[in-house]
């Protein structure tokens, strides 16, 4: 697995949000911003739905703090569109790592990514790695300290 203090690997993934539709997101476009990539196993499963709904519910707090939050799975954009519509993820961006390249580079799982969250600072350095379900209040405080 990637380590705290290391550079986040370069990536370019297709993203979907109800607000913005599909677009590409890459590491270069996130430089200068604190961001979170929350890897989860699969759209529409109980734990993953709970985690992404918590980010949906707290999205405004993260946005006000200038922190970008992305959910990442191996699911296709089509699956993300359905998942986002079903649970009203208006602004929450879901990234499709359909070929598994980023998941494999970070060693978070090959068939289904383990629930692993990466907090990345403005310079692209991994500042925190959290396995399992995150506490969004603590996560927000951590991210604000990196600004």
Active site residue 48: yes
Instruction: Name the active-site residue from 48, 84, 95, 140.
Output: 48
Q: How many CB atoms lie within 10 A of CB 60?
A: 10
Q: Which candidate, 95, 91, 83, places its Cα nearest to that of 44?
A: 83
Q: Which candidate, 52, 62, 37, places its Cα nearest to that of 138?
A: 62
Instruction: Provide the annotated active-site residues.
Output: 48
């Amino acid at each position: 697995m990637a380590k705290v203090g290391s550079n986040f690997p370069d990536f370019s993934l297709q993203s979907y949000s109800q607000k913005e539709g599909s677009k590409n997101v890459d590491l270069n476009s996130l430089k200068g911003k604190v961001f979170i990539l929350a890897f989860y196993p699969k759209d529409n499963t109980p734990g993953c739905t709970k985690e992404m709904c918590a980010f949906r519910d707290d999205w405004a707090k993260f946005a006000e703090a200038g922190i970008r939050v992305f959910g990442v799975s191996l699911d296709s954009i089509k699956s993300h569109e359905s998942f986002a519509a079903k649970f009203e993820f208006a602004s929450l961006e879901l990234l499709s790592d359909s070929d598994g390249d980023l998941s494999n580079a970070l060693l978070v799982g090959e068939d289904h990514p383990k629930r692993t969250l990466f907090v990345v600072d403005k310079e692209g350095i991994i500042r925190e790695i959290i396995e399992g379900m995150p506490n969004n209040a603590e996560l927000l405080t951590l991210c604000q300290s990196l600004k």
